[in-house]
């Protein structure tokens, strides 16, 4: 299935050490099958911390959620166990992680739910009342990948990436036409025959995470070395 990650920062690789340790399911890289949620997350991050909203798209095989080769935990719906797990992970006073699962999947305790969690923590409502309030709202979804072996299970969506790469090539070719007064065909030939293009097409390099302007600067450096 397609899963998405909304952010405000471009990065070439996922570094778990930079992930927030007190999210719903602990430290890890979070994705969701609901594209709109990822888009909203990206916008919220950009509004709060600056930068531009960015959407990353991956492929994830749901079979891994029940694969015995991985330590997994799945909450299909809001439950008492889910509430308690989220509260434990959000406890910033703990000195060590709550769990060692590779993958955790379940609902999101988002900002719309936070008030109800706070009311439960202050004993203003019971567990039953909390679950009633969070169950009858729009569905949410998230998957937390908490280990290196889990990160290897998500793959960038190739259709999405190659469409993005094609846009990069067009933008770079137009920039060459503008900056070097050449025709479009010559510009595209330069791009397609460059080492920069080979690196862009090799998904292992992570070049697709960069902007076309950054790729263009790399190409210019390559052309300067050749000349």
Summarised one tens digit per residue, pLDDT across range 160-174 is 667 778 888 999 999
Predicted local distance difference test score (pLDDT) of residue 160:
64
Residue 51 predicted with pLDDT over 90: no
Cα–Cα distances (Å) from 18 to 8, 21, 28, 29, 211, in that order, read 14, 9, 9, 10, 22
In this prediction, residue 159 carries a pLDDT of 66
Could you list the beta-strand ranges (E) of 67-211: 72-74, 103-106, 142-145, 155-156
pLDDT at 109: 85
In the three-class reduction of DSSP (H, G, I as helix; E, B as strand; rest coil), residue 90 is classed as coil
pLDDT band at 210 (very low <50, low <70, confident <90, very high): confident
What integer is the mean pLDDT of 188-199? 93
Lowest mean pLDDT among 55-59, 115-119, 205-209: 205-209
- CA atoms within 13 Å, Cβ hemisphere of 7: 14
Q: Name residue, tokens 């409502």.
A: 125
Residue range 131-137: average pLDDT?
Answer: 79
Whole-angstrom distance, CA of residue 174 vs CA of residue 176: 5
Query: Residue 205 has what DSSP assignment?
Result: G
Percent of the chain surpassing pLDDT 90: 52
CA 119 to each of CA 122, 156, 216: distance values in angstroms, whole numbers, following the listed order = 5, 39, 52
Place of tokens 């799945």: 74
Task: Report the 10 Å Cβ neighbour count for 139.
Answer: 10
Between vectors from CA 199 to CA 193 and to CA 201, what angle results, nearest 5°? 85
Q: Which of 20-29, 67-76, 107-116 has the lowest mean pLDDT?
A: 107-116
Query: What is residue 155's predicted lDDT score, i.e. its pLDDT?
Result: 78
Q: What was the pLDDT predicted at 81?
A: 95
* Residue 158, pLDDT above cutoff 70: no
Averaged pLDDT score across all residues of the chain = 89
Residue 176 in this model has a pLDDT that exceeds 90: yes
pLDDT higher than 80, residue 203:
no
* pLDDT (0 to 100) of residue 12: 63
Q: What is the pLDDT of residue 135?
A: 76
d(CA 114, CA 69): 34
**Over residues 40-69, mean pLDDT:** 90
> Are 8 and 42 in contact, with CB atoms under 8 Å apart?
yes
**pLDDT at res. 167:** 85
């Amino acid at each position: 299935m397609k899963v998405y990650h909304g952010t405000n920062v471009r990065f070439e690789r996922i570094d778990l050490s930079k992930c927030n340790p007190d999210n719903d399911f602990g430290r890890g890289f979070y994705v969701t099958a609901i594209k709109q949620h990822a888009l909203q997350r990206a916008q919220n991050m950009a509004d709060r911390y600056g930068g531009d909203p960015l959407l990353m798209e991956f492929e994830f095989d749901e079979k891994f959620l029940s694969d015995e080769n991985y330590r997994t935990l799945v909450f299909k719906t809001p439950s008492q166990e889910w509430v308690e797990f989220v509260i434990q992970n959000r406890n910033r006073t703990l000195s060590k992680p709550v769990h060692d699962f590779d993958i955790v999947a379940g609902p999101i305790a988002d900002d719309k739910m936070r008030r109800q969690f706070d009311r439960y923590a202050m004993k203003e409502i019971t567990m039953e009342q909390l679950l009633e309030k969070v169950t009858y709202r729009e569905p949410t979804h998230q998957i937390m990948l908490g280990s290196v072996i889990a990160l290897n299970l998500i793959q960038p969506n190739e259709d999405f990436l190659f469409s993005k790469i094609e846009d990069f090539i067009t933008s770079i070719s137009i920039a060459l036409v503008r900056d070097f007064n050449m025709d479009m065909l010559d510009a595209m030939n330069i791009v397609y025959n460059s080492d920069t293009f080979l690196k862009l097409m090799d998904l292992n390099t992570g070049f697709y995470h960069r902007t076309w302007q950054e790729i263009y600067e790399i190409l210019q450096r390559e052309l300067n070395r050749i000349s």
